Amino acid sequence: MDLHRKKLAVLDLTHGGIPIAKSLADAGNEVTGIDVYGTVEPGTLLELEEKHGICCSKTPLSSSGFDFLVAPVHLDSAYPMLVEARIEGKSVLSHHEIVGKILKGDSRLAGIKTVEVTGVKAKTSIASLLADMLSRRFEVVLHTSRGLEYWKAGVSSLIHKGLSITPGSILVAIKKVFEAGFRPDFLIFEISIGGTGTADFGILTTLSPDYGIANNTALASEAKLQLVRHAKSGSTLLINAGAQKALKAAKMSQAKVFTFKDPFSAEIPGIRSQVADFVLETECSSVAPVASSELSISSGLSGSVISFIHRGKEIFSASPRQGYNVSAYRTAFVAASAAALELGIEHEAVISVIERFGGLSGRMQEREMNGISLIDNSNSGMDILSAEKALEYALLKKKDEKKEGIILVLGEEASQVCEGLPPESVRGFVEEFGTKCRQVILVGERMKAVAGKKVSYARNLPEGLSKASEFAGSNDIILSSVKCFR
């Protein structure tokens, strides 16, 4: 589709639509921006009109006046402009698709390899570990929910902080990279709910647990399959072997496909063991090795050992450092290592990264707060299953280190963060596991609907942690599991 002198509407300026609208207007198109949720500041809308020539509307317009529409995959399919477009047979491109078309026309990207990471879990951890591994040989720019970073020789520096991981934010990230004077060998993008179709290497972390989007008229898993269905010819895909829907779609792809086994899949009822190219095995796993390449780990609070085995031959072993829950990074270790090896990184570099890695802030990292042990599991991807795993780890730590009690901080800072944390899930969690904690502090306005013994409330994460420190003694553990942007 030609993106020049077209008349088009970009729906949803809140979630990455603004940079998309700007790029399309700069390319010579007549663009109208639709503020679907009415959340964009009037000053911002005025600037779009006066500086970029983008007409803006807070109400739906007739779709008949546009050549095509651009809408995010999570927009309610009952939105009037989408309904009219379907009736008229008018094209509607997703934000992912239009960003892919814009990127294909960007000559500045010639010679730079791109990696896109999408899925439900472990996106940030995989992307961050892979950036570190690739940086041992190449110059890398990494864009995740943690920020936009430049990596070289295992050292990172912050370029910019505050971008989301919507597809539209990729356009902003690339602009800032070149403005800062960087021309990396690799660009790695953590991207929400799909792929742009321009990646040289795509990684699908997980499709489960699945959830509804677009006002529950579609499944997130279907949207994430854009990474597979739109993969360009000659590219490489690394797919979770448990994502059968993705593997089926990959059979129609002209990309080279590798698989890895998500170590948590064996722990989820109804998920069968899957043959894969790369597998993470644990000591306690009841699943026998079934792959041509295996990554095994004997896990515990300390003394973990990782071994990489290829076709029955051990290639390397590594001993992760202490100070974080190694088992929480099993998916990230196997996927990042597999991707790094496929992209030409030496085994020694992968070993070095694994052994130096100390966990990511908010992703099962251990530290002290006012002299009290803190397990930090608060991040944008946190869900109720993650909270259960974190509590399980905290209980094990309590037993091994003879701690006295657990103060749990649980909830959300904003219900808009990656679909939020459903209060009904939190209610079930508190009913089942609340008695295992000395005190439960629920964060967020929606959590006030959840009642229980030894339950109190906080407006946000800082207030929740402050209250937790008041409840906790020096020999207690504070467990922080709040869905939030970090």
DSSP string, 132-201: HHHTTTS-EEEEETTEEEEEETTEEEEEE-----SHHHHHHHHHHHHHTT---SEEEEE-SSS--S--SE
The predicted-structure confidence for 180-194, as pLDDT tens digits, reads as follows: 999 999 999 999 999
DSSP string, 87-111: HHT--EEEHHHHHHHHHHT-GGGTT
Q: Which residues pair with residue 375 across a beta bridge?
A: 366, 479
Contacts of 269 (CB under 8 A, 6+ apart): none
Over pLDDT 70: what percentage of the chain?
Answer: 90
CA–CA separation, 206 vs 31, rounded Å?
A: 35
pLDDT confidence bin for 273, thresholds 50/70/90: low
What is the residue range of 401's domain? 365-483
Q: Is the per-residue pLDDT at 290 higher than 80?
A: no
Q: Is the per-residue pLDDT at 55 higher than 70?
A: yes
- Residue 365: the pLDDT is 86
Let me know whether 323 and 402 are in one domain.
Answer: no
Let me know whether 87 and 152 are in one domain.
Answer: no
Let me know whether 50 and 71 are in one domain.
Answer: yes
Whether the CA torsion 18, 422, 82, 228 is positive or negative: it is positive
Burial class (CB within 10 angstroms; exposed 0-12, middle 13-18, buried 19+) of 28: exposed
pLDDT confidence bin for 293, thresholds 50/70/90: low
- Residue 17: the pLDDT is 97
CB neighbours of residue 481 within 10 Å:
28
- Which of 307, 337, 356 terminates a domain? The answer is 356
Q: Would residue 1 count as lying in a domain?
A: no
CA–CA separation, 479 vs 382, rounded Å?
A: 13
pLDDT confidence bin for 10, thresholds 50/70/90: very high
Cβ atoms of residues 260 and 334 within 8 Å: yes
The predicted-structure confidence for 306-346, as pLDDT tens digits, reads as follows: 877 666 667 788 888 887 888 888 899 999 999 999 999 99
- Find out whether the peptide bond into 80 is cis, omega within 30 degrees of 0: no
Let me know whether 264 and 337 are in one domain.
Answer: yes
Let me know whether 85 and 234 are in one domain.
Answer: no
Q: What CATH number does residue 437 fall under?
A: 3.90.190.20
Q: Would residue 345 count as lying in a domain?
A: yes
Which of these, 269, 327, 268, 321, lies nearest to 296 by C-alpha position?
A: 327
Contacts of 7 (CB under 8 A, 6+ apart): 29, 30, 32, 65, 66, 67
Which alpha helices (H) appear in 384-422, and where do they start and end?
384-400
Let me know whether 136 and 280 are in one domain.
Answer: yes
CA–CA separation, 284 vs 66, rounded Å?
A: 58
Let me know whether 262 and 401 are in one domain.
Answer: no
Whether the CA torsion 102, 103, 107, 108 is positive or negative: it is positive
pLDDT confidence bin for 292, thresholds 50/70/90: very low
Cβ atoms of residues 189 and 143 within 8 Å: yes
Tokens of 408: 């749990």
CA–CA separation, 345 vs 343, rounded Å?
A: 6
Q: Is the per-residue pLDDT at 298 higher than 90?
A: no
CA–CA separation, 429 vs 408, rounded Å?
A: 12
Q: Where are the beta strands (DSSP E) in 364-464?
A: 365-369, 372-376, 406-412, 439-443, 455-458
The predicted-structure confidence for 441-475, as pLDDT tens digits, reads as follows: 999 999 999 998 899 999 999 999 999 999 999 99
Q: Would residue 100 count as lying in a domain?
A: no
Let me know whether 408 and 442 are in one domain.
Answer: yes
Q: Would residue 2 count as lying in a domain?
A: no
Q: Is the per-residue pLDDT at 269 higher than 60?
A: no
Let me know whether 259 and 183 are in one domain.
Answer: yes
Q: What is the mean pLDDT of residues 272-295?
A: 55
Let me know whether 309 and 164 are in one domain.
Answer: yes
Query: Could you give the number of structural domains in the chain?
Result: 3
Average pLDDT of every residue of the chain = 89
- Residue 310: the pLDDT is 65
Whether the CA torsion 227, 228, 233, 238 is positive or negative: it is positive
Cβ atoms of residues 339 and 132 within 8 Å: no
- Which of 334, 356, 378 terminates a domain? The answer is 356
Supply the Cα-derived Rg of the chain in whole angstroms. Answer: 23
The predicted-structure confidence for 154-164, as pLDDT tens digits, reads as follows: 999 999 998 99
Global pTM? 0.84
Let me know whether 250 and 380 are in one domain.
Answer: no
pLDDT confidence bin for 145, thresholds 50/70/90: confident
The half-sphere exposure of 41 on its side-chain side, counting CA atoms within 13 A, is 3
Let me know whether 16 and 142 are in one domain.
Answer: no
The mean-pLDDT minimum among 56-65, 234-243, 287-296, 462-471 falls in: 287-296
What's the residue count for the chain? 486
Burial class (CB within 10 angstroms; exposed 0-12, middle 13-18, buried 19+) of 143: buried
User: What is the helix (H) or strand (E) element at residue 425, kind and residue range?
Assistant: helix 423-433
Q: Is the per-residue pLDDT at 30 higher than 80?
A: yes
Q: What CATH number does residue 235 fall under?
A: 3.40.1190.10
Q: What is the mean pLDDT of residues 17-43?
A: 96
- Which of 70, 94, 118 terminates a domain? The answer is 94
CA–CA separation, 457 vs 409, rounded Å?
A: 9
